[in-house]
Amino acid sequence: MKVLFALLKKDLLSELRSRETLVVLFSLSLLLSVILSLGIQSAYLRAGQVEALLPAALWVVFLMAATVSVSRSYDYEQANCALQGLLLAGTSPWKIYISKVVITSIIMLAGQCITLASLGILLNISLFSDLITLIIISFLVIIGYAALSSLLAAMTMTARLRDLLLPLILLPLLFPLFFSALELTADIVVDQNFDPGSVWLSLLIGLDLLYILFGINLYEFVVRE
């Protein structure tokens, strides 16, 4: 566990020092929220119609901002051969993977909070009463996203066109995850009828576990190849 905590500290400090991923994610989240909000407001929709568009707007912003940002997460390892150094030092690949997933999840959750606040304010929708539930659902989605993207980012790390290749591989695999997210967010925001026993919530949790298990078992093969 000491090794895992040391890796978490290393990855967190690297992100805080470079600030590249944070700046890109936060800037894109805010910018895309403003653009989508202006487009929705210019359509002169009724309040109920605006609320119905919020789930799609929320996850489109997250998907675009996160996918651009996550490709930067391995730049430090590639530039300084840090990943190879950890492997040569005998560090278990699954610990490196878990550290990446945790740090990516923390950063993405912070970006999602900015998106929630921005869209709520710009679209004049009160999300305060549903905020805790939305954050929990967002956290579950982000865990699955981080688990899959961390594996694929390592896979495409040395590719010449990795910034293009990563989204092409990642986005189709994320379809069931984000379809579940859309349905659950619509239940919370539009229908005001969130059911903890929903099949979509069960699917979301199942996908999280599946992506994490795939990542733990395949990460060693990916980074050593």
Hunting for tokens 């989240």 — which residue is that? 29
- Extended strands (E) in 137-210: none
Largest CA distance in the chain: 60
Q: What's the pLDDT at 209? A: 96
For residues 56 and 92, what is the distance between their CA atoms, to the nearest angstrom?
A: 39
Residue 72 has pLDDT above 80, yes or no: no
Has residue 79 got a pLDDT over 90? no
Exposed, middle or buried by CB within 10 Å (0-12, 13-18, 19+), for 10?
middle
Model confidence at 80, in pLDDT bands (50, 70, 90)?
Answer: low
pLDDT tens column, 159-170:
777 777 888 889
Residue 182 Cα to chain centre, angstroms: 14
Convert the pLDDT of each residue in 92-111 to its tens digit: 888 889 988 999 999 999 99
Tell me the residue type at 50: V
Measure the CA–CA gap between 62 and 54, rounded to whole angstroms. Answer: 12
The whole-number pLDDT of residue 160 equals 73
What are the residue ranges spanned by the domains of the chain? Answer: 2-224
Convert the pLDDT of each residue in 124-159 to its tens digit: 888 888 889 999 999 999 999 999 999 988 888 777
Q: Answer positive or negative: Cα dihedral of 61, 63, 68, 71.
A: positive
Choose among 133, 116, 211: nearest CA to 173.
211
Cα first-last separation, the chain: 26
Which of 43-57, 152-166, 201-215 shows the lowest per-residue confidence on average (mean pLDDT)?
Answer: 152-166
